[in-house]
Chains A and B, each alone.
Chain A
Amino acid sequence: MHEPLISHLEEILQKRLAPQQQAAVDAHLSGCADCRDELSAMTSFSQVVRSLRAPAVPELRAGFYARVMQKVEEQGRPSFWNLLLDPVFGRRLVYGTGAMFLLMASFLLATSGDQPELAQTPVQMISQPAVTAVSTQSGFGDDVQRDREQFLATMASFSE
Chain B
Amino acid sequence: MAFRDLVERFQSKVFSIIYGILRNHNDAEDIAQQVFAKVYFSIRQFDFRSSLLTWIYKITVNECYDYLRKKKVRKLVYESDFSEDDAHMMENSGVAIDPNMPIDESLAHRDLAVKLLGKISEEDRNLLLLKEVDGHSVEELAGMTGMNENTIKVKLFRARQKLVKAAQRLGKVPGRFELGL
Using a CB–CB cutoff of 8 Å, the interface residues on chain A facing chain B are 5-7, 9-10, 34, 37-38, 40-55, 57-58, 60-61, 64-65, 67-68, 71-72, 75, 82, 85
Contact = CB atoms under 8 A, between A and B. Distances in A.
B34 interface: yes
Interface of B: 4, 7-8, 11-12, 15-17, 19-21, 23, 25, 29, 32-34, 36-37, 40-41, 44, 97-99, 101, 103-106, 109-110, 112-114, 116-117, 128-129, 131-133, 135, 138, 150, 153-154, 156-157, 160-161, 163-164, 167, 176-177, 179-181
A47 B176 CA distance: 16
Contacts of B167: 41, 45
A47 B33 contact: no
Contact of A68 (B7, B128, B131, B156): B7
A46 B180 CA distance: 19
A58 B16 CA distance: 8
B133 A50 contact: yes
Contact of A60 (B12, B37, B113, B135): B12
Contacts of B8: 65
A75 B103 contact: no
A49 B132 contact: yes
